[in-house]
Structure 1
Amino acid sequence: MYDGASIYDQLSLERTVKGLSNLGIRQSPLTWEKAKRWARQFDEGPEKALAWLILRFLVFRTTDQLESSIRQALKAASQDFGRKLSLPEETDWRAILEGRIGDLNFYCSPPTLATYSLPGKSGELIARLVNRVFKVDKSYAHDFSVIGQNERLLIVDDGTFTGEQLSGFLDNYMPAGSSPDRVAVVVAIAHEAAIAHLAERHPNVAVFCGEVLSKSHCFESLSLSWVSNRLWPYLDVSPLDVYKSICEKHNLTNGGSASLGFGSLGVMVGYEHGIPDDSLNLLWEKSETWLPLIER
C-alpha cells in the first residue's frame, strides 16, 4: 500500500544522484548512466523506490577523496609516533613521516604476508598511493621479521569494516606481537565495528583512519530511518524485506542466505577502484539476471 503522506520523491532523488555525478563527487565506474542502467533492473513499486534510496545514500569515494582521507590518517599516525618520542605538539607531521625530525624511518605495506601482492588488490593500490604522494617507502611485511628500534611499519588499506582481515593478518605477523608499538594500521575508512574488533584483538597496535563509519551509515539502520522519516513510501512492506526478496529472486546470496555483504554489516561503500565485499551484495554480486553497480 502506497503511503500518500510520504515525502518520497523519486525525481528529486534522481536529480540528486545525477548531480553527484555532474559535480565529480561520483566518477567512473559509478557514472550517471551506470546508475540508471542498474536501477532499471528493479521492478516498479517498492523495488524501484529501494533502488533510488540506495543510490542516494551510497558512500562513494573517488581516488582524490581516498587520498584526502589517507592524508588525515597518516597525519594522525605521524603525530602519535611523534608524541611517543616526546616531540613538541606543533612538530610538522610530514617532517616526522619523512624522517627529518625524530629520526624514524617509515615503511608501508599492504596487509599481506605474501612475498608480493596482486597489482589490483586494494592494499597494494593504497601502498602505491602512500609511496607516490607521501614519499613513504613501500615494502612488504615479510621483509620485517624484526622491526628496528627506529623503524615504523604502516599497514595500509582503503578500508576496514569488520576488521577480520586485518586481525587475521596481525594474528600471524610476529612483529605485531613482539613490537606492537612499531606497527600501525592506517586506512582511509574504518567502520566502528572494525575499530572495536582490532582494539580487542590487538590492543597495542594503533589504528588510524581518515573517516569513521557507524552503524547508522549501514543499510539496516538507514532503512529504519527511511521508514521513520517517511522517505519510504510503502506501508505494507519494509525496505529490508524488499531487499532480501530481490537478492533471493536474482540469486545474489552468494550460495547461502547472507545478502548484506561480508560480516552482514550492510555496508554501503564503493570506490573508484572497486567495491569491498562488505558492501551489500546487490551492489557487486552478479548472476544470470543481475548486473552489479560496481564490479569487484
Structure 2
Amino acid sequence: MRADMYVETVLKKCDLFSACSLWSREPKVRPRAWLNNFEASERPVAAMLLDHFVYFDSEATNCMLASTLRCLAAQVREYRGEDALRQFSRDAVFTPVLGESPNPTDSGGLFCRKVRQVLCIPDTRFVSLNRAYELAEAGVPVIFVDDFIGSGDQMASTWEREISPGQSFKGLASNSYVDATYLALVGTESGCRRLKDDFPELRLLVAHTLDNSNSVFGIPSNPLNPDLDDMQNRVRQLIQKYHSKLQLPPYLSTANERMYGYSGLGLLLAFEHSVPDASIPLIWASGSNDWTPLARRA
C-alpha cells in the first residue's frame, strides 16, 4: 500500500476503535498528535508501530480480571470438587505483587482494589505480603494479583523476598505445600515461561498472552503494510533517533532499555490506567519540544 494511504488507513482504524469505545478517547490515547511528533517521511514507520499497538480500556481490564478468577474457580472445582471450591472461595486472601523496590503506587495494589470493586469481595480478604505469608503457613490459599507480567522480575522478587530473616514464600514452598496463585491480566510468553520453570509451586493464570508479534521485534506481521523496504531496520532507526529526546526514569539505565523499555522487551502495550514500562518509551514517555505521548504512563 502507498505509504501515505497506509498512514490514513491506520488513523481511521484508531478513530473506529475510539468511536466503538474499544479505546479511550482523547486525551488518554492521542494517535494523531503522536504521529505529528515525527517528520512526514517518518510517519509511515510510526504508523506501523501504531498499527500494532494493543490497548485495553477499563472495561476490558475488568472483564479480563473476572475471567482469570472464573478460570481459577473452574480449576479448583475440577481438581478438588465443589465443596473445596466453596471453602476456597470463602477463605482465600488476596495480596499485591510488589515492585523490585516496593512503592505504594505499584500496580498490584491497584488490582487488589479492582478485585474488591469488580467482584465485591470484603476488605478483610485483602492483606499485606507479611500477613499473606502467615496465612499461607497456616494453609490458607493466597492469590497474588497484578496487571502485567513482562520479564517476570516483579513476581520473582515478591516470591523470593524475605518476610523475616530466612522466611520467604520460596522457602516455605520448598518445605511444605503452599496454595498460591498468581493472577495477571496480560503476560509475555517469556515472562510466563520463566515463572513456570523457576517457581513450579506457584499456580499461574493469565488472561492474555503476548508473543513476539506484539513487540517491535515481530513487525511487520500484518498483510497490510506501507510500501517501504527493510521495515524492521526503519523501526530501529526511528527509535534510535528519538529515544534520547525522551524523559525517562533513571532505572531504565542501559541504552537498550531506554530504546525498548524495561528488560528490552520492546512491547507496544497500554492499559487505560497506565502503560507498562516494558513498552517502548517512544509511546509513553514525555519529551522535549512539545512531544506528545501516544498514551501517557501514569
TM-score band by shorter chain is 0.7 to 0.9
Amino acid at match of 2:265: L
What is the alpha-carbon distance in structure 1 between the residues aligned to residue 45 and residue 81 of structure 2? 52
Q: How big is each residue's C-alpha offset from its partner over 1:193-220, in whole Å with a ceiling of 9 and x where there is no partner?
A: 1111101221110111111111222111
Of 120, 130, 139 in structure 2, the residue corresponding to residue 142 of structure 1 is: 130
- Structure 1 residue aligned with 2:150: 161
Q: Is the 8 A contact 1:105 1:150 kept in 2?
A: no
Judged with a 3 Å threshold, the aligned counterparts in structure 2 of structure 1 residues 176 and 81 are, in CA distance, closer, same or farther, namely farther
Stretches of structure 1 that go unaligned for 5 or more consecutive residues are: none
Task: Name the Cα RMSD after superposition.
Answer: 2.9
Of 206, 211, 220 in structure 1, the residue corresponding to residue 208 of structure 2 is: 211
- Structure 1 residue aligned with 2:81: 87
2:293 matches 1:292: yes
Deviation at residue 51 of structure 1 after TM alignment: 2.2
Number of residues of Structure 1 aligned to a counterpart in Structure 2: 277
Q: Is the 8 A contact 2:28 2:296 kept in 1?
A: no
Deviation at residue 266 of structure 1 after TM alignment: 1.2
What is the alpha-carbon distance in structure 1 between the residues aligned to residue 288 and residue 45 of structure 2? 21
Judged with a 3 Å threshold, the aligned counterparts in structure 2 of structure 1 residues 249 and 111 are, in CA distance, closer, same or farther, namely closer
- Structure 2 residue aligned with 1:171: 160
Amino-acid identity (%):
16
Query: Normalising by structure 2, what TM-score?
Result: 0.82
Q: How big is each residue's C-alpha offset from its partner over 1:36-62, in whole Å with a ceiling of 9 and x where there is no partner?
A: 1111101111x2012222222211001
Judged with a 3 Å threshold, the aligned counterparts in structure 2 of structure 1 residues 7 and 283 are, in CA distance, closer, same or farther, namely closer
- Structure 2 residue aligned with 1:279: 279
Of 67, 71, 90 in structure 1, the residue corresponding to residue 62 of structure 2 is: 67
What is the alpha-carbon distance in structure 1 between the residues aligned to residue 247 and residue 155 of structure 2? 26
Judged with a 3 Å threshold, the aligned counterparts in structure 2 of structure 1 residues 166 and 210 are, in CA distance, closer, same or farther, namely same
| 2:193 alignment partner, SS class | helix
Q: How big is each residue's C-alpha offset from its partner over 1:231-261, in whole Å with a ceiling of 9 and x where there is no partner?
A: 1322266333333333346356755422111
Q: Is the 8 A contact 1:30 1:272 kept in 2?
A: no
- Structure 2 residue aligned with 1:257: 255
Q: Is the 8 A contact 1:184 1:206 kept in 2?
A: yes
Q: Could you say which structure has the higher helix fraction? A: 2
What is the alpha-carbon distance in structure 2 between the residues aligned to residue 148 and residue 291 of structure 1? 49
What is the alpha-carbon distance in structure 2 between the residues aligned to residue 58 and residue 50 of structure 1? 13
| 1:145 alignment partner, SS class | helix
- Structure 2 residue aligned with 1:246: 241
Judged with a 3 Å threshold, the aligned counterparts in structure 2 of structure 1 residues 109 and 117 are, in CA distance, closer, same or farther, namely farther
Query: Normalising by structure 1, what TM-score?
Result: 0.82
Deviation at residue 24 of structure 1 after TM alignment: 0.6
Amino acid at match of 1:170: W
Q: Is the 8 A contact 1:220 1:240 kept in 2?
A: no
- Structure 1 residue aligned with 2:165: none
Stretches of structure 2 that go unaligned for 5 or more consecutive residues are: 163-167
What is the alpha-carbon distance in structure 2 between the residues aligned to residue 216 and residue 294 of structure 1? 20
2:192 matches 1:195: yes
